[in-house]
Chain A
């Protein structure tokens, strides 16, 4: 199975900060890397698919980059509604696998 490792596991940031979350795959997954946001008690919400494509309705402050095994989610200017947990996920092959999550908290 492909292992997905996110870093950091948690971070504290202020409104307006630029935030970067890293995700590494244990083998090449080409561009089949997706990012989800999850708020407490809610289902995950797709933010970015295919490494850098923004899902419809997602604010442009979210962006993704990378290829092969190393990927990044960037929030250009953190907003109050962005405090949540973020997961990367590979859809290159089954079993699909998720990173362990990165919790973004208010500083």
Chain B
């Protein structure tokens, strides 16, 4: 069974940092692109970042570029999102999701982890 479990969310002050993790199981993690998508309270879905199978190709939304870093450890089957310079507008539930192929998009999602940026 495919499982994605996020962790690392919490309350952080503006300007602070947080690292999210997404532990994968039930599939060959190293064969998939992986993504982060966020959702502010009561709002819609916003794509944040993605990373290719070996970690050498990373993409970011303009809103997080230069502040967030996506990475992965295929040996540990874990995806990460290092978030620096956090702002109030980064407050959201952060989901990790699996990306099987060019045609099939985000077919499995984690349950999400809440990040709250507030003083």
B103 touches A44 (CB 8 A): no
Residue of B nearest to A1 (CB): B62
Main secondary structure of the interface of B (DSSP, over half): loop
Bound CA–CA A59/B105 (angstroms)? 18
1/0 contact trace for B16-35 toward A, CB 8 Å?
00000000000000000001
- Return chain B residues, CB-CB under 8 Å to A63: none
Bound CA–CA A97/B46 (angstroms)? 7
Report how many A-B pairs have Cβ atoms within 8 Å: 60
Size category, B interface = 20 to 34
Stretch of B69-77, B78-86, B107-115 with 4 or more beta carbons under 8 angstroms from chain A:
B107-115
- Return chain A residues, CB-CB under 8 Å to B37: 44
| Interface positions of B (Cβ within 8 A of A) | 35, 37, 44-47, 50, 59-62, 95, 102-107, 109-112
| Interface positions of A (Cβ within 8 A of B) | 1, 32, 34, 36, 38, 43-46, 49-50, 53, 55, 87, 89, 91, 94-101
Top 3 closest A-B pairs, CB basis? A43-B109, A96-B47, A94-B59
